[in-house]
Amino acid sequence: MNTDQFIVFAIIGLALILFIWGRIRYDVVAMMALIGSVILGVVPADTAFEGFGHPAVITVAAVLIISQALRNSGIVELATRFLEPAAGHPTLHILALTAVVAVCSAFMNNVGALALMLPIAIGSAYNSKRPTSEVLMPLSFGSLLGGLTTLIGTPPNIIISSFRQAETGQNFAMFDFLPVGLGVALTGILFISVVGWRLLPKRAVNNSEHENLFQIEDYIAEVRIPENSPYVGHRLVDLETLAQGNVAVVALVRREDRMLAPSGYMRLKAEDILTLESDTDTLQRVVDEANLELVGSADESSQELQSDRVGILEAVVTPGSRLEGRTAHNMQLHTHHGINTLGVARQGQPVNERIGRVRFMPGDVLLIQGIREEMPETLASLGLLPLAERELSLTPKRGSIIAPLLFALAILLVVFGILPPQISFLGAVGTMVLLGELNLKELYESVDWSIIVLLAAMIPVGMALETTGGTAMIAYPLVSLSEHFPVWAIMGLLIFITMVLSDVMNNAATAVLMAPIGISIANSLGVNIDTFLIAIAIGSSSTYLTPIGHQSNLLVMGPGGYKFGDYWRMGLPLDIIILVVSVPLILWIWPL
Beta bridge partners of 113: none
Last residue of some domain: 264, 296, 328?
Answer: 296
List Cβ neighbours of 167 (8 Å cut-off, separation of 6 or more): 519, 529
Asked if the model's pLDDT at residue 79 lies above 60, the reply is: yes
Are 111 and 249 within one domain? no
Asked if residue 106 is part of any domain, the answer here is yes
| Same domain, yes or no: 22 and 165 | yes
* Ranges 103-112, 207-216, 524-533: which has the least confidence: 207-216
**90 vs 87: CA distance, rounded Å:** 7
* CA–CA separation, 561 and 387 (whole Å): 13
Asked if the structure places residue 290 within a domain, the reply is yes
Residue 142 sits in the same domain as residue 244 = no
pLDDT score, position 591: 92
For residues 515 and 559, the answer to whether their CB atoms sit within 8 Å is no
Assess whether 180 and 274 both reside in one domain: no
539 and 437, same domain (yes or no): yes
Please check whether residues 292 and 178 belong to one and the same domain: no
Are residue 129 and residue 239 in the same domain, yes or no? no
Same domain, 158 and 258: no
Tell me, yes or no, whether 165 and 196 share the same domain.
yes
Q: Give the domain-ending residue among 262, 296, 330.
A: 296
Domain, as residue range, for 292:
217-296
CA proximity to 140, closest of 572, 543, 466, 587: 543
Using left for φ > 0, alpha for ψ between -120 and 50, and beta otherwise, residue 320 falls in: left
**Is 506 contained in some domain?**
yes
Helices (H), 468-506: 470-480, 487-504
Strands 349-350 and 310-317: unpaired
What are the start-end ranges of the H helices in 232-292?
236-242, 280-289
% the chain with pLDDT above 90: 41
| 486 burial type by CB count under 10 A (0-12 exposed, 13-18 middle, 19+ buried) | exposed
Let me know whether 240 and 125 are in one domain.
no
Q: What is the pLDDT of residue 37?
A: 95
The tens digit of pLDDT for each residue in 1-45 reads 789 999 999 999 999 898 878 778 888 999 999 999 999 999 999
Q: Are 192 and 574 in contact (CB under 8 A)?
A: yes
User: Is position 157 within any domain?
Assistant: yes
pLDDT-based confidence at residue 480 (cuts at 50, 70, 90): confident
**Measuring CA to CA, which residue among 397, 393, 391 is closest to residue 379?**
393
Helix (H, G, I), strand (E, B) or coil at 21: helix
Contact, 397 vs 74, CB < 8 A? yes
Domain count, the chain: 2
**pLDDT value at position 413?**
94
What pLDDT shows up at residue 152? Answer: 92
Residues 289 and 414 placed together within one structural domain of the fold = no
Asked whether residue 498 is domain-assigned, the answer is yes
User: Taking the CA of residue 519 as centre, how many other CA atoms within 13 Å lie in the half-sphere pointing to its CB?
Assistant: 22
The single-letter DSSP state of residue 199 is G
Over residues 365-374, the mean pLDDT reads: 86
Asked if residue 316 is part of any domain, the answer here is no
Q: Nearest 5°: CA angle at 504, between 502 and 505?
A: 65
What is the pLDDT, as a whole number, of residue 396?
45
> What's the pLDDT at 393?
44
Biggest CA–CA distance in the chain, Å, is 90
Quick: pLDDT tens for 328-342.
878 888 878 888 888
Domain at 278, CATH number: 3.30.70.1450
